[in-house]
Amino acid sequence: MKKIANIDKSKACLIVPVENQVRELDAKLLLACIAVNRGFPAIIGSKREVEARIASFPRSIYLAKSLLHGHRKFFRIARQFGHDIVAWDEDALVHLPAETYYSRRLSPAALACVSRLFAWGEDNAELWRHYDDLPAGLPIHITGNPRNDLLRSEIQPFYQNAVDRIRDDFGHFILINTNFNHVNAFSPVRRLFLPADRPGEEPRFGRAARGMTREYATGLRDHKQAIFEHFQKMIPALENAFSDYTIVVRPHQVESPEIYEQIAKSCQRVRVTNEGNVVPWLMACKAVILNGCTTSVEAYVMGVPSISYRAVVNDDYDKGFYRLPNMLSHQCFDFEELRQTLAEILTGERGVLDSDESKAIIDHHLAALEGPLACERIVDVIEKNMTHLTTSPKPSLFNRLAGWYKVTKRRVRRRSKAGNTGSHRSWEHHLKKNPEIPLQDLSDRIRRFQRLLGKEGQPRVDQIHAKLFRINP
């Protein structure tokens, strides 16, 4: 698609790339609204399109969502155009054990390009502080994350229309949130292991195993596969046990829904969907069942009862990887215990897990559950960086030309790989995670956020590309 609107290069922007639209867009749009209300423009949309057009933007602050080794080249390119890079890690709330997290999620070369880090909470900050290759003096701001702003009572009305539609469509329902992309990703390359090329050969690592030892990845695969099989049996059993409720299965966005759809075909009241953000689904459901999923943290904060169905237990993973979600849920170890606990939730005998331990653990992991929003705290920091950005020397012509050459070469190379079905760079994969957004849809979301923020005016929204927008004060 051709450029729709010219970009004003006279003002520094906040650049907010979105990789996974369902998970990220609403939270990042709230952040963009708050930035715009402070007086500086925001560019938001597809991460792929942002990276392809980085040379055309004014010197800006680029908000990265992770610190992977693969991001280092783009970070260096962005810096050649004078952009300042700040970052959080989307996966640092429910995270792997420290050593595996470090090898999988952090890159010294990527961190060297970053000027500031935003932590979900104290746990996240501690994790980064103990990383041996953290650059000396790199500021870590414990701000919370925009995704937890969506859970707060003052922001939840953003989803009320969606909640009403869900309840109209599904009635009273029990939500099952699955998290089996390690063994059930829609593309084999996204799983822990690829199928072996020949019988007897060891399977090669998939993308999900990046940074893991073979021993750890093999154990995690076996553990997740066993739980996955129990969840498949649980779905029709729940339908039989709770005849007055619809069972809604919400697969992880990169999971293949096929196996759940096959189960639904043999049932009367099982529905499968991963439409939209999870927040309105939590607001609409009676209870949620999961295992080792960030959604249990979200449910806890929102006051929605959650059950961790732990039909298979492995402390190496359950305590090292999934401790946080398990600690914030009612834990059930067989179907009968699950049935009884769920029945008590549905009759009002049980509610959200409420203990001193659960309160202490959520306070340790999540900042900004009250007081200023996480978005406001992040923008407070970004405002100071914006001032520095506009007064610092501009990049040299040589740097800009070198950056232009590298970004062009990168764009051509990525386009050549886009046709490879199954690749994480394929158009198929990109469209699944980032479909086109109608301008009217985005404008409507902004209008609803502005109303909740107590703002009368509507920012002007220019469409730069089918998946890229500039929001102006």
- CA–CA separation, 60 vs 470, rounded Å? 13
Q: Do 378 and 315 belong to one domain?
A: no
Q: Give the per-residue pLDDT at 404.
A: 84
What Cα–Cα distance (Å) separates residue 91 from each residue in 10, 28, 102, 147, 293? 35, 15, 12, 12, 11
Query: pLDDT category, 236, cuts 50, 70, 90?
Result: very high
Would you give the distance in Å from CA 423 to the centre of its chain? 20
What's the pLDDT band for 36 if we cut at 50, 70, 90? very high
| Structural domain includes residue 6 | no
Q: At what angle do helices 335-346 and 214-241 cross, to 10 degrees?
A: 60
At 2, the pLDDT band (50, 70, 90 cuts) reads very low
The answer to whether residue 237 scores a pLDDT higher than 90 is yes
> What is the average pLDDT score of the chain?
92
Q: At what angle do helices 72-80 and 397-417 cross, to 10 degrees?
A: 140
Mean local confidence (pLDDT), 324-346? 97
Number of domains observed in the structure of the chain: 2
The mean pLDDT value for 273-296 works out to 96
Q: Taking residues 451-459, report their average pLDDT.
A: 91
Instruction: Assess whether 396 and 358 both reside in one domain.
Output: no
Sheet holding 306-309, edge to edge: 270-272, 246-250, 173-177, 287-290, 306-309, 330-332
With beta carbons less than 8 A apart as the criterion, state whether 257 and 178 touch. no
According to the model, what pLDDT value does residue 6 have? 54
Dihedral (Cα; 267, 273, 279, 284), 10-degree rounding: -40
Question: Closest by alpha carbon to 183, among 230, 146, 140, 150?
Answer: 230
pLDDT at 432 over 70: no
- If phi > 0 it is left, if psi is from -120 to 50 it is alpha, else beta; for residue 102 that is alpha
Assigned domain for 4 exists? no
Q: Are residues 386 and 310 in the same domain?
A: no
CA angle 171, 174, 179 (to 5 degrees): 130
- Predicted confidence at residue 1, as pLDDT, reads 36
Q: Are residues 171 and 234 in the same domain?
A: yes
Residue where a domain terminates, one of 365, 389, 419: 365
Q: Which domain holds residue 244?
A: 160-365
Percent of the chain with pLDDT over 70: 94
Of 318, 336, 365, the position where a domain reaches its end is 365
Helix (H, G, I), strand (E, B) or coil at 12: coil
Is pLDDT at 424 greater than 60 in this prediction? no
119 assigned to some structural domain: yes
Nearest residue to 93 (alpha-carbon basis) of 421, 365, 414: 365
Task: Please tell me whether residues 344 and 377 are part of one structural domain.
Answer: no
CB 22 within 8 A of CB 277: yes
Token representation of residue 286 = 């009676």
Q: Is residue 280 part of a domain?
A: yes
Please state, in angstroms and rounded to a whole number, the distance separating the CA atoms of residues 220 and 96: 11
With bands split at pLDDT 50, 70 and 90, how would you rate the model's confidence at 113?
very high
- Say what the pLDDT of residue 340 is: 98
pLDDT in tens, 163-187: 999 999 999 999 999 999 999 999 8
Q: How confident is the model at residue 419 (pLDDT cuts 50, 70, 90)?
A: low
pLDDT at site 7: 54
Checking if the pLDDT of 10 tops 60, the result is no
Contacts for 274 with CB less than 8 Å, ≥ 6 apart: 22, 250, 251, 252, 253, 255, 257
Residue 296, domain CATH? 3.40.50.2000
174 with 311, same domain: the answer is: yes
Would you state the pLDDT for residue 447?
96
Torsion of CA 420, 423, 424, 427, to 10 degrees: 20
Model confidence at 431, pLDDT cuts 50, 70, 90, reads: low
Q: What tokens appear for 402 in the block? A: 């070198």
For residues 381 and 359, membership in a common domain is answered with no
What is the residue type of 394?
K
Do 378 and 467 reside in the same domain of the chain?
yes
359/395 same-domain check: no
Confidence of residue 399 (pLDDT cuts 50, 70, 90): confident
Q: What is the pLDDT of residue 420?
A: 62
Contacts of residue 416, Cβ cutoff 8 Å, sequence gap at least 6: none
pLDDT band at 422 (very low <50, low <70, confident <90, very high): low
Q: What string of H, E and C letters represents the secondary structure of 104-148?
A: HHECHHHHCCCCEEEECCHHHHHHHHCCCCCCCCCCEEECCCHHH
Q: Look-up: residue for tokens 């989307």?
A: 90
Question: For residue 197, what pLDDT is reported?
Answer: 79
Q: Which two tokens stand for residue 379?
A: 């923008």
Alpha-carbon gap, residue 161 to 156, rounded angstroms: 11
Q: Check whether residue 211 and residue 316 sit in a common domain.
A: yes
Q: Taking residues 278-287, report their average pLDDT.
A: 98
- The answer to the question of residue 9 being in a domain is no
- Give me the torsion for CA of 386, 387, 391, 395, rounded to 10°: -10
pLDDT tens sequence across 185-224:
998 899 999 988 788 888 999 999 998 999 999 999 999 9
Please indicate, yes or no, whether residues 256 and 350 belong to a single structural domain of this protein: yes
State residue 75's pLDDT score: 97
Q: How far apart, in whole angstroms, are the C-alpha atoms of residue 198 and residue 30? A: 49
**Are residues 197 and 285 both part of a single domain?**
yes
Q: pLDDT at position 55, please? A: 93
Say which range, 19-33, 193-207, 217-231, 322-336, has the weakest mean pLDDT.
193-207
Identify the domain boundary among 335, 365, 395.
Answer: 365
Question: What integer is the mean pLDDT of 160-164?
Answer: 97
Instruction: Please state, in angstroms and rounded to a whole number, the distance separating the CA atoms of residues 386 and 264.
Output: 51
Q: What is the DSSP letter of 67?
A: B
Q: Are 279 and 150 within 8 A, CB to CB?
A: yes
pTM summary value: 0.92
Contacts with 455 (C-beta within 8 Å, 6 or more apart), sequence order: 33, 37
Residue 3: predicted pLDDT: 43
User: With contact defined as beta carbons under 8 Å apart, do 194 and 424 qualify?
Assistant: no
Question: pLDDT tens across 337-354, in order?
Answer: 999 999 999 999 999 998
| pLDDT-based confidence at residue 28 (cuts at 50, 70, 90) | very high
